[in-house]
Structure 1
Amino acid sequence: MSELREPSLPRTARVRTGPLRTGWTTGTCSAAAAKAAALALRDQVVVEHVDIALPSGQRVSFAVESCSWTPEEATAVVVKDAGDDPDVTHGAHLTVTVSWADELVLESGVGVGTVTRPGLGLLVGGPAINEVPRAMIGQAVREVVDRGLRVLDSVPDGEQRARKTTNARLGILGGISILG
């Protein structure tokens, strides 16, 4: 009987010699974009970098891909880096638009899914933004403004990306979930 061996890798395969590169969640990137947009609205400036707190308390810095503002609202984009994880949201443009409001209101825009079934711990009919990212977004914007904001979270190609996930089977339609 022949000896079992591992198959040979193709010549074009790269062998990793170091540890895997870690990445960021959609929730972390949304929180960073929300803080950048809140800063832009408050100061009426273009924000290029922003730092936020992770749930662990560690602070991390993000480059802001684009940022624009008017006296009424501001928009910031942070591009998701999934590290070496084969994540369908890698490279997604987490886009947050903020405007002044009476209280903090979190809404889903284009490409962020809507919850259509009970059982996910989220309000049916509400945005598919889990509790940890909700808290992170709230903390991030409260670090820079002390009044209410309407926070509109979008992912321009989120609906197409969601087709490669199990979101529809879970009852999340119209886009990706904002997780972790």
Structure 2
Amino acid sequence: MLGCFIVTSMSDASKPLRRGWTTGACATAATRAALMALWGEGFPVKARITLPKGERPEFAISYQACGSDWAEAGIIKDAGDDPDVTHGAEIRAHVRASSGGVIFKAGAGVGTVTKAGLPIGVGEPAINPVPRDMMTAQVVEMAKRLGQSPDVEITISIPDGESIAAKTWNPRLGIVGGLSVLGTTGVVRPFSCAAWIASIHRGIDVARAEGLTHVSGCTGATSERTVQAHHKLPDAAMLDMGDFVGGMLKYLVKHPVDRVTIGGGIGKIAKLAQGEMDLHSKRGQVDLQFWADTLDLPALAHANTALEASQIAGAVFAQTVAQKALETVQARFLEAADGRKITYDIIVIDRAGAILASAS
């Protein structure tokens, strides 16, 4: 899984975190540059666009090509200090005259939507609504200024996008063939946890749209493989929860399914059992004194880790962890917003992927 961090304005005591630009903003700037060439103004050195909140950044043109009835321009994406897998990717826009308004196409490295539940319909290129609006606005504004017809086909491509997409959640969300063109503000702020939680939400939307009634959130790849095999769940049912159990469960209360399985290692699930809703090691630790008191085993208070506590206490530790984690979840998230009761179960696994305990 990708790393994640929470920041406000500083990455250390003195260095401000640098923001970046979304794939949607880059695609829009590339579209503007290509249109300038297509409609007689020539390729610019930089393209300036207006973002949804009024900001007007400039983007250096990294690639240009043209023919008698088409033009193409590229922008290198700068994600700033956000750990974004698309940082450094080139976003290209190929434009040509068409009919029937602005038409969007997926070029090489841009995915196509194959599952319901996303903002774009099945069969459409994975270019989200706000980037589409931004590019359309460029077409309309420039066509009016230059006396051109605003009927344009825009094909967005991302060289190596298909291989980069393998590092994202796109395959599970049913976006095949490459990356998505994303962004709502045009700006990437180094707050990647928010992006991760948003992806969990989209996974839930897709699962519900496919009619799935049982989904699972797991803390890592090993627990995910174990839980998926144990329950024989399809890929679309597996949510990339990571450490964000609270972000997943809060959304599921508002957008419920019948059954939710939470899987993870002994340490992560122990923190959930203690009431933690963010399981990252930087934001919460296993309280070994709590577990010593709970199991009436003073030796647990002197253990170094949950794994060592499990070795000291044996199977009873993992089983108690699973049961208390289940009670924690049920106490806060049992009843969905529509009044239905959600069924939960917990699976605790070891590092090899074997099931240590479960509670349901």
Fold shared per TM-score above 0.5? yes
User: C-alpha distance in 2, partners of 1:138/1:162?
Assistant: 25
How many residue pairs match? The answer is: 167
**Runs of 4+ in structure 1 over 4 Å off:** none
Q: Indicate yes or no: 2:144 matched with 1:141.
A: no
The alignment's C-alpha RMSD in Å is 1.5
State how far apart, in whole Å, the 1-side matches of 2:117 and 2:39 are: 38
Q: Which has the higher contact order (CA 8 A, sep 6+)?
A: 1
The residue that corresponds to 1:38 in the other structure is: 35
Give the structure with higher Rg (CA).
Answer: 2
Q: What is the rounded CA distance, in whole Å, between the counterparts of 2:139 and 2:15 in structure 1? A: 36
Match of 2:286 in 1: none
**2:65 matched residue in structure 1:** 68
Q: Which moved further from structure 2: 105-114 or 135-144?
A: 135-144
In structure 1, what is the Cα distance between the partners aligned to 2:42 and 2:48?
Answer: 16
Percent identity over the alignment?
46
1:53 to 50, 56, 63: 50
1:111 matched to which residue of 2? Answer: 109
Q: Residues 46 and 69 of structure 1 are in contact (CA less than 8 Å); yes or no, is this contact kept in structure 2?
A: no
CA apart distance, 1:153 = 0.4
Q: Secondary structure at the match of 2:159?
A: coil
1:15: how far off?
A: 6.1
> Do the aligned residues in 2 keep the contact of 1:29 with 1:79 (CA within 8 Å)?
yes
2: CA distance, partners of 1:167 / 1:74: 29
User: Bigger shift: 44-53 or 20-29?
Assistant: 44-53
SS in 1 for 2:142: coil
| 1:8 paired residue number | none
Deviation of residue 66 (structure 1)?
1.8
* Gap runs ≥5 in structure 1: 1-13
Residues 51-60 or 139-148, more deviating: 139-148
What SS does structure 2 have at the residue aligned with 1:133?
helix
Among residues 177, 181, 191, which one is paired with 1:174 in the alignment?
177
In structure 2, stretches of 5+ residues that fail to align are 1-10, 184-360
CA distance in 2, matches of 1:30, 1:16: 34
Q: Deviations over 1:127-176 (max 9, x none)?
A: 11111111011112222224211100000110000000011111111100
- Structure 2 residue identity aligned to 1:121: P
